[in-house]
Amino acid sequence: MKYILMMNTMKTGQGVPDWPRKDLQAHIAFMMDFAKDLRESGELVSAEGLAFPDQARLVRAGKDGSPITDGVFPEGKEFLAGYWIVNVETPERAYAIAARASAAPGPGGAPLNMPIEVRPVMSAPPPEML
Amino acid sequence: MTPPPGHFAAEHLLRELAPQVLGALIRRYREFAAAEDAAQEALIAAATQWPREGVPDNPRAWLMQVASRRMVDYVRREAARRKRETVAAMQMDALAPPADAGMGTEEDDTLTLLFMCCHPALTPSSAIALTLRAVGGLTTAEIASAFLVPEATMAQRISRAKQTIKTSGVLFSFPADRERADRLRAVLHVLYLIFNEGYTSSAGPDLLRLELSGEAIRLTRALHALLPDDAEVAGLLALMLLTDARRSARTGPDGELISLTQQDRTRWDRTEIAEGTALLTAALAKGSVGAYQLQAAIAAVHDEAECAEDTDWPQILALYELLKRMSDNPMVMLNHAIAAAMVDGPAKGLELLAALDADKRLAGHHRLDAVRAHLLEMAGDPQAAIRHYRIAARKTTNLPERNYLTAQAARLSDGS
């Protein structure tokens, strides 16, 4: 069963974290360890980090189908910072992985306890009913 | 692109030989993980060379030679790493004839390997991956694409499964009599899961995706050839064939699900139905009826009906009554409720469903809502049926099933 773990933690107007270098390095090292463990457990399907919200554009089709882009978002709107897709045996395992990501270290090395949204990825059709 | 016919012949031969070569290597070197890697490398070498240069006169010996060379390399590396004994001594040891040379046959090896790969110490997904690679002779890349995960992920899963086998001290030996029945049940369950994975993920043609259900049928057929007197092995093979027979009728042109009652039965595979029915008849005659035989019998009753209206529901209901006594599976209870509704009317089915509401394993499961919606529709309550079809659609994690359930709700609300 595949699950997506979404880190909806970026906000408009938020810049690069201004943490001390040591704390930033600890955070990055944690994330790299986390990804490595998921690869080694044979559970990682894919993972991506996304660019900051100032790179985001909202696109709608105009009357002739051409793109109309809008980049002005309300202050404080939450954005997806990145995601992992994992293939695990149980939902509990997906929650445990999400909890580990949530506790990534922040300033001063204290856990951030970020909210991680966990949702099943739609899969192939189930066996038909006999 | 269509590969030349020779390609398929060589591939078929390789899959047959894979477990035999691996079994012989393990018996000789007693190193499952390394033997598995060596066998895999030999198979890959054969898969590239044979179609180009022709199949060697003795393909098994060819594979053994290539794989043994890899094993000797491995033993050398291990020797260098451990620095416990001289390289020469280890080589001599590795090349010496095994103590049990000549014991056991290739067939025994295949069976022993299956028992090993489906060991209860492994999680189902690990056992599936290991079985497909070690017994099925598939490459890691093929298995990864079948399960839609990256190759590196599948490689890790396989290597961890091998590690589990190593650390839990599972021996390359035939299970003792007292545990053989349990171990065989585990093997059958893994084969059943492989079949289901393939059968349920066949939405749309994808040439790169491996036919997992075909592979499960092939492995179960081989197991049946090794244990021809086991009625449950025959029952599982019959169940697979009788279910697979409906494959091309169960999805529409866009991969949408078509329910059993709506399927075009002229598209069912008569050859598979005949083979499955014959297997089942012979198995049932042996007198030790098990859950796979009963499920196969239910599939056979469906397959026998020329049209949905001809379905012998009283017989299906009787079979579910037997199955219920044998297995405590909530899905069996759900299907039993459907059969009861078909025989005694929807009120009876809904009454049985009400009793299932208390079952924790089904609590919140979309199937319970889907069946309830279906029975409410039968009972002439379209508004309640629409409501439950929509609840089920919200809960399912299967896209084609969500589309199917949404379409059922839409059909009823358009009509009312």
Q: pLDDT, tens digit, for every residue of B266-289?
A: 999 999 999 999 999 999 999 889
Q: pLDDT, tens digit, for every residue of B15-69?
A: 888 998 998 898 888 888 899 999 999 999 998 898 888 889 999 999 999 999 9
Cβ separation of B295 and A129 shorter than 8 Å?
A: no
Please tell me the predicted confidence (pLDDT) of residue B122: 92
Interface probe, candidates B156, B197, B239, chain A, greatest A C-beta count within 10 A: B156
pLDDT band at B206 (very low <50, low <70, confident <90, very high): very low
* Residues 6+ away with beta carbon under 8 Å from B260: A128, A129, B246, B250, B302, B308
Q: Which of B32-41, B163-172, B368-377 has the lowest mean pLDDT?
A: B163-172
Q: Which of B254-263, B337-346, B386-395 has the lowest mean pLDDT?
A: B254-263
- For the entire predicted model, the pTM comes to 0.81
Cβ separation of A123 and B154 shorter than 8 Å?
A: no
pLDDT band at B7 (very low <50, low <70, confident <90, very high): low
CA distance B243 to B272: 9
Please tell me the predicted confidence (pLDDT) of residue B178: 85
Q: Which two tokens stand for residue B224?
A: 């049946």
- Highest-confidence segment of A117-126, B178-187, B231-240, B404-413: B231-240
CA distance B128 to B110: 16
Please tell me the predicted confidence (pLDDT) of residue A93: 96
Q: Which two tokens stand for residue B164?
A: 């589990």
Closest alpha carbon to B240 in B284, B285, B192, B288: B192
CA distance B156 to A87: 12
Mean pLDDT of A86-109: 94
Please tell me the predicted confidence (pLDDT) of residue B327: 83
Mean pLDDT of B101-112: 66
Please tell me the predicted confidence (pLDDT) of residue B106: 65
* Residues 6+ away with beta carbon under 8 Å from A103: A111, A112, A113
Please tell me the predicted confidence (pLDDT) of residue B107: 65
Cβ separation of B400 and A42 shorter than 8 Å?
A: no
Q: Which two tokens stand for residue A28?
A: 């990055």
Residue A129 resides in a domain: no
Contacts A124 to B, Cβ<8 Å: 200-203, 398, 400
Q: Which two tokens stand for residue B46?
A: 């054969």
* CA separation, residue B122 to residues B25, B158, B165, B210, B245 (Å): 22, 11, 8, 23, 31
Mean pLDDT of B170-182: 84
> Does the pLDDT value for residue B232 go beyond 90?
yes
Question: Percentage of chain B surpassing pLDDT 90?
Answer: 53
pLDDT band at B102 (very low <50, low <70, confident <90, very high): very low
Please tell me the predicted confidence (pLDDT) of residue B6: 54
CA distance B99 to B97: 6
**Residue B345 — left, alpha, or beta (φ > 0 → left; ψ -120 to 50 → alpha)?**
left
Residue A127 resides in a domain: no
CA distance B249 to B259: 9
Angle between helices B5-29 and B59-82 (to 10 degrees): 40
Residue A51 resides in a domain: yes
CB B392 within 8 A of CB B384: no
Query: Complex ipTM, two decimals?
Result: 0.72
Q: Which two tokens stand for residue B130?
A: 């290991």
**SS3 assignment, position A60:** strand
Domain range spanning residue A82? 2-120
Closest alpha carbon to B373 in B348, B350, B354: B350
Interface probe, candidates B153, B398, B403, chain A, greatest A C-beta count within 10 A: B153
Please tell me the predicted confidence (pLDDT) of residue B97: 42
Cβ separation of B399 and A123 shorter than 8 Å?
A: yes
pLDDT band at B5 (very low <50, low <70, confident <90, very high): very low
What's A77's domain CATH number? 3.30.70.1060
Please tell me the predicted confidence (pLDDT) of residue B397: 81
Q: Which two tokens stand for residue A23?
A: 């704390």
Domain count, chain A: 1
Minimal Cβ distance to A87: which of B153, B203, B398: B153
The residue of chain B with its CA nearest to that of A127 is B200
Q: pLDDT, tens digit, for every residue of B111-161?
A: 889 999 999 899 888 999 999 999 998 889 888 888 878 889 999 999 999
Residue A130 resides in a domain: no
Q: pLDDT, tens digit, for every residue of A35-54?
A: 999 999 989 999 999 988 88
The one-letter amino acid at A5: L
Mean pLDDT of chain B: 86
Residue A19 resides in a domain: yes
Helices (H) and strands (E) in chain A, counts: 2, 8
Please tell me the predicted confidence (pLDDT) of residue A119: 95
> Does the pLDDT value for residue B205 go beyond 70?
no
**In sequence order, what are the beta bridge partners of A58?**
A70
CA distance B240 to B300: 11
Please tell me the predicted confidence (pLDDT) of residue B267: 95
Residue environment code for B187-212, b if the CB has 16+ CB neighbours within 10 A, otherwise e: bbbbbbbbbbbbbbbbbeeeeebbeb
Cβ separation of A125 and B398 shorter than 8 Å?
A: yes
Stretch (H or E) spanning B167? helix B151-167
- Interface A-B, measured as beta-carbon pairs within 8 A, has a size of 79
Provide DSSP, B279-329.
HHHHHHHTS---HHHHHHHHHHHHHH-SSGGG--HHHHHHHHHHHHHH---
In terms of C-beta distances under 8 Å and separation of at least 24 residues, what long-range contacts does A16-22 make, across chains too? A16/A52, A17/A107, A19/A106, A19/A107, A20/A107
CB B333 within 8 A of CB B356: yes
